[in-house]
Amino acid sequence: MNYIRKISFYLLFISLFAFAEQFYAETYLLGGKKGWSDVNVRNGITTGTGRYGNESLVLDTNSRKKNPYTDLLLDFENGGFSDTTGNYTIVENTLFSSKKAVMGKGAALSRGKSGGLVLSGTPGSFFSTEGPAGSFMIDFWLCPSIVENGEIIFSWRSSRNIAGKIVYQLITASFYQDKIMCVFSNIFDGYTEDSGDVYLIGSRKLIPEKWSHHSICFTEDDGMLLYKVDGEVEDIQFMTETGHEGSSIFPAYIGTSAYVSICPKYTGLIDDFSVTRSYVNIDAEVDAEIAEALNPKRYGSSGGHFESVPILTKPGTIMNSLKAETDIPPQTEIHFYIRGGDNYFNWTQDYPEWIPVKNGEKITGLTGLYFQVAADLFPDGTGSVTPSVSEIQLDYTVLPEPQPPYKVSAQKGDGSVTLSWSYSTDDTAGGYYIYYGTRPGEYLGRYAAEGNSPIDVGNTTSYTITGLKNGTIYYFAVAAWSKVDSRIRGPLSKEVYARPGVK
């Protein structure tokens, strides 16, 4: 007899599963017309134009990325000239957009016209906040068309009050004898030699039509001021009393807010102009970017990675497949992953385990209440081509919710209420929950001897709840749970009520 029952239950389970797949199949879309707002982790990933004009996810280029220390960043991507940090606004612009970039897809072209790109900083930005400057780094990529004395790459001119006397200030980088000379005038507080002027001069001659990276750095901890080309030190000074490390430091000080001019007198290309309120924290990152940029690859060989937010479904949901609209040029690849579970609040980067899945193929053994999608994108061997994802469709099965009992009654007792109901007409019901409370529609009971609401009473049609207070009215409803998965609870029955009391 037990064997027959097991066979019958198995056949019922199979039939229920087939029924669920047929009538409770659902989909969830990422991308497409919906967009990619559900993708909240993007490492080395950006958006491009996909099928039908919708956004797609593609590999990001090796353009400079802002970080918590970035004060100004002009990346010139997508033909733009705005500061990606929002700290500076454009006052004047005579530069042109160019696709001959060394970082990313865009650069700026200066044709030697007077003015260049003039920026005004907001309060709190580096060039618009009077006071100690701290550590900083100014860096940029250059590809000059000509190398002549007097060509100015950037300039900031201001003034400050020292003991009641107004003195001018200057930070500039310009061409001098086929090299770059950086000048700091009255920037370092207490430094009076050479009328307060400090010069950094490169030793490497610039070559027309060739990209090179330049960085001017100051560290307030030791007073080191240095100039680097392609990550190699060209000139160094210590802004200290002795001119060497280990003595009293002359700190950098910014005076009155003033405009910053980029390429006010320069002929050639410039890319990724940046000002950073730090040096030590990002120097290694910049050196890595330089090495990557000097390599002709547009996309890094490590590729990019994205992850979706946890996607809420229903208890016991069965994930069936992941179908993605993709463009995968030769030598490029996309690897998809998915994971699922019941409580995403305890998820970590590695738990639950990410499961590799094939685009469009059947997924087996993955169930849960929440699901999360991830993918790795890899470029071709030359780093010049990226794959893309235009849309991801998750196909999953939601198991049916059992119907509630059609008829429920409540009989009061002394400190108790006995509930009775008919069996659910739904064959998927495996047992019942009783919900109770002291207000209609609010089943937040915490007072019954049998436990808090709801109470799992098993597969029965009558149950007595005790420990109730005589004279207090209580409201009840009954819901069935599924024999396929007890986490699946159906809708509530019609509400009934009773007021316990001594008969």
Of 47-56, 385-394, 429-438, the poorest mean pLDDT is in 47-56
For the chain, how big is the Rg over CA atoms in Å?
A: 35
Of the pLDDT bands very low, low, confident and very high (cuts 50, 70, 90), residue 281 is low
Q: Where are any strands of DSSP class E within 277-362?
A: 304-308, 311-327, 333-341, 355-357
Contact indicator for 448, 464 with CB cutoff of 8 Å:
no
- Report whether pLDDT(402) > 90: no
| The token pair that represents 168 in the structure block | 């001018």
The pLDDT tens digits for 147-205 are 888 899 999 999 998 888 999 999 999 999 999 999 999 999 999 999 999 999 999 99
- Report whether pLDDT(122) > 60: yes
Cβ contacts of 333 within 8 Å, gap of 6 or more: 376, 377, 378, 387
- Report whether pLDDT(334) > 80: yes
Q: Where are any strands of DSSP class E within 129-279?
A: 131-132, 136-144, 152-162, 165-176, 179-185, 197-201, 212-219, 224-229, 232-238, 253-254, 260-265, 267-276
- Report whether pLDDT(333) > 80: yes
The pLDDT tens digits for 45-57 are 988 877 777 899 9
- Report whether pLDDT(439) > 80: yes
Q: What is the pLDDT of residue 22?
A: 42
- Report whether pLDDT(388) > 60: yes
- Report whether pLDDT(463) > 90: yes
Cβ contacts of 358 within 8 Å, gap of 6 or more: 336
Q: What is the pLDDT of residue 347?
A: 93
Residues 337-358 have a mean pLDDT of 93
Cα–Cα dist 203/299, whole Å: 31
Q: What is the pLDDT of residue 67?
A: 84
- Report whether pLDDT(406) > 80: yes
Query: Which residue has better confidence, 62 or 93?
Result: 93
Residues 480-499 have a mean pLDDT of 87
Contact indicator for 476, 444 with CB cutoff of 8 Å:
no
Q: Helix (H, G, I), strand (E, B), or coil: what is residue 10?
A: helix
Q: What is the pLDDT of residue 179?
A: 94
Looking at this protein, which amino acid is placed at residue 277? R
Contact indicator for 158, 255 with CB cutoff of 8 Å:
yes
Cβ count within 10 A of residue 59 = 23
The pLDDT tens digits for 64-116 are 778 889 999 999 987 889 999 999 999 999 999 998 988 878 899 999 877 89
Q: What is the pLDDT of residue 487?
A: 76
- Report whether pLDDT(353) > 50: yes
* Terminal Cα distance for the chain, rounded: 46
- Report whether pLDDT(417) > 60: yes
Cα–Cα dist 119/111, whole Å: 18
Q: Which helix (H) or strand (E) holds 93?
A: strand 88-93
Q: What is the pLDDT of residue 327?
A: 93
Q: What is the pLDDT of residue 294?
A: 54
Q: Which helix (H) or strand (E) holds 22?
A: helix 2-23
Q: What is the pLDDT of residue 117?
A: 95
Cβ count within 10 A of residue 183 = 17
Q: Across the strands, what pairs with 42?
A: 306
- Percent of the chain whose pLDDT exceeds 70: 91
- Report whether pLDDT(4) > 70: no
- Percent of the chain whose pLDDT exceeds 90: 66
Taking CA atoms, 498 is separated from 417, 454, 467, in Å, by 7, 17, 14
The pLDDT tens digits for 234-252 are 999 999 999 998 899 999 9
Cα–Cα dist 133/473, whole Å: 70
Q: What is the pLDDT of residue 290?
A: 59
Q: What is the pLDDT of residue 436?
A: 96
Please return the burial class of 7, using the count of CB atoms within 10 Å of its CB with bins 0-12, 13-18 and 19+: exposed
Mean model confidence pLDDT for the chain = 88
Q: What is the pLDDT of residue 151?
A: 93
Query: Could you write out the DSSP letters of every residue in 354-390?
Result: PEEE-TTSBP-S-EEEEEEEEEEEE--TTS----EEE
- Report whether pLDDT(360) > 70: yes
Of 22-31, 106-115, 437-446, the poorest mean pLDDT is in 22-31
